[in-house]
Structure 1
Amino acid sequence: LRSFNKAYKTQNQFLNSEIHQVTKIWSKVAQREKTLLMKCARLQAHNCQIESKYLMLLRKLQGLPDLASEHKEMVKGLIQEALQWDVKEEAEIPIRQNPIKEYDDYGFMTIPEYEASDWKLLAKIQALEIKSSNLLNQEVLEKPLSEKWNNLGELSPSSELKALLRCGVPPEHRQRVWRWIVSHRVQHIRSPGHYQNLLKKCEAAEHPASRQIELDLPRTLTNNKHFLSPTSQLLPKLRRVLLAFSWQNPTIGYCQGLNRLAAIALLVLEEEENAFWCLVHITENLMPPDYYSNMLIGSQVDQRVFKDFLSAKLPKLTAHLEHHRIDLALVTFNWFLVVFVDSLVSDILFRVWDAFLYEGTKVIFRYALAIFKYNEEAILRIQDSLEIYQYLRFFTKTICDGRKLTNIAFSDMNPFRMKLLRNRREEYRLKLEAEMRELEKIKTQYLMAQAEHPSSHLDGAVSEDDDDDDI
């Protein structure tokens, strides 16, 4: 027995030693694999940057006015070739990770099918730059952020949650977070069975807005695969959400733009009732009154407020735009109305919405200012009004670093208090209402004058040659 016991002890020591050695080898291999993957990510990011610079160079060459015709054709051919590269081929090369996919996690085209080749080229440059940035930030920023979300546990209002939301919610947590935000903010008006009752109302009677809703359904998120096909499963959900909302809030009913807000909510929340309450939260909690009314008064007011903030934060840029008589509302009005949907690439758009759903409209102002700050130098270099307008049409497509934009929005730009925003809104609302009353007064006077002189109407007048014309 003693010799057996000694033999077992010796065998156990040997096995423990083997296990220890294997563990050390496995640890070294795991560390080496991690190092190689990080190196691979850096190399791929570098490759994306080279490809992006190549495309930028082609775009600049294309715009040269004195380029020889044969060289123009050559550049045009190279651009077409670059845009036709099949990104799926990258997946066939084992060493290359995370190729640019045709669609992102939420179904948006990575490179939308723009009619203008220049816009498509910009979209590909942006996709490459964003991919490069994400690869380089994965270990340093994204992984620690994801770990914070994993360890957060039950959600509750706090400064920590606010800071995390500003950094952006990882896709795997976004649905849970949005659902909590919306539920928390509409709990005072949400009741069991309310949404189903609204749907029954939709079936019982046709809402006056139903025709406009039907017209807008096919125009919703045209660069997203979940809304491209008439047979898409999300379209009937979107229809029901919008019709239910038109009965929920008769003062708004339906306004163009609500379809895009509801569509974004559906992409993340998936369940249509949750998307409905998200739309209610946006229109009734976050946005000021009359934002989606017939006259869009709240939206008009915010454009004037934003112009004030831009002048205070970026005076040099404001002076430049005023010198060239640029009406910024032509660009920014839609940003505010639909919270940057169809303006910002989805990678950045959802990060904006993460903070917006929690903090409200001041987030829109912050990001709108940040977009102009991000592109300030490029705008200042343009000295022609038409060229400025042309640049402003696509300049959000040049934003490739979402982290940089977020830092500008919440750190670089000096913050402004919600009280200041409320005071400015009240000031411009009073002015706008006074202007509208004056316009209504002028309109009434004109109609009265027309009624007093009916003979001045020329509806029945004919030209001298009318009698000779064939009908």
Structure 2
Amino acid sequence: METSIKPTNGTHSSSSVRQSTAKERADRIDPYGFERSDDFDYESYEELMSEYLVILTRRSIKWSRLLKGKGKVQKNVKLKRYVRKGIPNEHRALIWMAASGAQDQLEKNPGYYQSMLAANHDSKLVETIRTDLNRTFPDNVMFRKSSDQCLQKSLYNVLLAYGHHNPSVGYCQGMNFVAGYLLIITKDEEKSFWLMDALIGRILPDYYSPAMMGLKTDQEVLGELVKLKIPRVWQLMEEHNVMWTLVVSRWFICLYIDILPVETVLRIWDCLFYEGSKILFRVALTLIHHHQAVIEQARSLPDVCQAFKQITQGPFVGDCHPFMQKIFTEPGSLSMATLTKLRVACRERLAAEES
């Protein structure tokens, strides 16, 4: 007769404890290296992902047919439609680089990134960047010094090279999170550097400059768009004397990082690199329009701030595929001509206030 050896005192054997602990740790970390919070709803997530994975698989097949193994793509109506429906992770770096013009810059400037790293380093720039390294994604295992593939050194290199490349910007808070996301996706310093250049130099000019005039302007533009499209919310903001910068500055400066779920942020970035900054407004207007009733319940400034925090959480933003469909329908039309006109007016008003 076989006898089974059972651990005494009701404890598990050490190997099974190690296995279960390792599995729990693995479950707590998402595909991008971020640790899930203690109150993470695994059941809802599994349900949502089982549906989304079907969509992802279908999209992946279509993208593979479209690309046919090519390393180059041309911008056209079909590609824009594909981008709006989501880029599979394996093609993200390629499409971001092509759509933003970063690939062209990389090819026109061979060795440039390394030359920026080899330049004499500005000690103040070095110190500022180093100060922020440990503050960058403390909840992401890839940015911990104990990690096998720690991205901190790569993050430092990208930020330092960019600071020398664009001395009028140098380094400003928020750029570390943007560069960190780029590294998570591209796994490549040089590509991340040129994508930073596309974002900060062309797609979002003056967002990260010392005066942050582009950022301040776009926050005011959002206010004007809300006034046009969701007037009751605009009225409430006026009544409680809430400045737009108080509730949406992090949305814009972090490009929704740490505001919305990772998968949703990446889908937003797919469109941001292809279509430009108006995507940021589409997301903001959708969040505000869809949760208009929640915001209108606010009775004070703290209530308004709490409402704006609340509307960036929950299943509406977690289910990224329908959310991304809504950003192109719910806010209605939003032309670049309208944005340009509003930007000119808002910038002039801000300049007059600051003079």
Tell me, in whole angstroms, the C-alpha distance in 1 between the residues paired with 2:330 and 2:61.
26
Question: Does the aligned pair in 1 maintain the 2:102–2:197 contact within 8 Å?
Answer: no
The equivalent position to 1:341 in structure 2, one of 250, 257, 272, is 257
Tell me, in whole angstroms, the C-alpha distance in 2 between the residues paired with 1:323 and 1:401.
33
2:30 counterpart residue number? 104
Q: CA deviation at 1:147?
A: 2.1
Q: CA deviation at 1:183?
A: 5.0
More helix by share: 1
Q: CA deviation at 1:188?
A: 8.4
The answer as to 2:56 corresponding to 1:142 is yes
The equivalent position to 2:204 in structure 1, one of 272, 280, 287, is 287
Q: CA RMSD in A?
A: 2.6
The equivalent position to 1:131 in structure 2, one of 40, 46, 49, is 46
The equivalent position to 2:238 in structure 1, one of 322, 329, 336, is 322
Question: Does the aligned pair in 2 maintain the 1:195–1:244 contact within 8 Å?
Answer: yes
Normalised by the length of structure 2, the TM-score is 0.84
The equivalent position to 2:155 in structure 1, one of 216, 238, 245, is 238
Task: Describe the superposition over 1:378-424 as per-residue Cα deviations: whole angstroms up to 9, x where unpaired.
Answer: 22334344233223234312233222321221122212111111111
Question: Does the aligned pair in 2 maintain the 1:207–1:247 contact within 8 Å?
Answer: no
Secondary structure, counterpart of 2:339 in structure 1: helix
Residue identity matched to 2:132 = D
Residue identity matched to 1:431 = R
Q: CA deviation at 1:227?
A: 1.1
After the TM superposition, which segments of 4 or more aligned residues of structure 1 sit over 4 Å from their partners? Answer: 182-186
Q: Comparing both chains, which one has the higher relative contact order based on Cα–Cα distances under 8 Å and sequence gaps of 6 or more?
A: 2
Specify whether residues 303 and 178 from structure 1 end up closer, same or farther in structure 2 by C-alpha distance, changes over 3 A only.
same
Matches within 5 A, 1:7-406: 101-109=27-35, 111-112=36-37, 121=39, 124-125=40-41, 128-139=43-54, 141-153=55-67, 154=70, 155-183=73-101, 186-187=104-105, 190-201=108-119, 204-229=120-145, 233-288=150-205, 290-398=206-314, 399-406=317-324
Q: CA deviation at 1:128?
A: 4.3
Secondary structure, counterpart of 1:355 in structure 2: helix
Q: CA deviation at 1:138?
A: 4.1
Secondary structure, counterpart of 1:408 in structure 2: helix
Q: CA deviation at 1:274?
A: 0.8
Specify whether residues 180 and 316 from structure 1 end up closer, same or farther in structure 2 by C-alpha distance, changes over 3 A only.
same
Residue identity matched to 2:166 = N
Q: CA deviation at 1:185?
A: 6.0
Question: Does the aligned pair in 2 maintain the 1:237–1:272 contact within 8 Å?
Answer: yes
Question: Does the aligned pair in 1 maintain the 2:105–2:194 contact within 8 Å?
Answer: no
Tell me, in whole angstroms, the C-alpha distance in 1 between the residues paired with 2:103 and 2:345.
28
Q: CA deviation at 1:365?
A: 0.7
* Aligned length in residues: 329
Q: CA deviation at 1:245?
A: 0.8
Normalised by the length of structure 1, the TM-score is 0.65
Question: Does the aligned pair in 1 maintain the 2:289–2:330 contact within 8 Å?
Answer: no
Specify whether residues 189 and 295 from structure 1 end up closer, same or farther in structure 2 by C-alpha distance, changes over 3 A only.
farther
Question: Does the aligned pair in 1 maintain the 2:99–2:273 contact within 8 Å?
Answer: yes
Residue identity over aligned pairs, in percent, reads 28
Residue identity matched to 1:142 = L
Q: CA deviation at 1:253?
A: 0.9
Specify whether residues 241 and 326 from structure 1 end up closer, same or farther in structure 2 by C-alpha distance, changes over 3 A only.
same
Specify whether residues 430 and 327 from structure 1 end up closer, same or farther in structure 2 by C-alpha distance, changes over 3 A only.
closer
Tell me, in whole angstroms, the C-alpha distance in 1 between the residues paired with 2:176 and 2:297.
37
Q: CA deviation at 1:273?
A: 0.8
Tell me, in whole angstroms, the C-alpha distance in 1 between the residues paired with 2:106 and 2:191.
15
Tell me, in whole angstroms, the C-alpha distance in 2 between the residues paired with 1:185 and 1:318.
41
Secondary structure, counterpart of 2:31 in structure 1: coil
Residue identity matched to 1:331 = V
Larger Rg: 1
The answer as to 2:337 corresponding to 1:410 is no
Name stretches of at least 5 consecutive residues in structure 2 with no aligned partner: 1-19
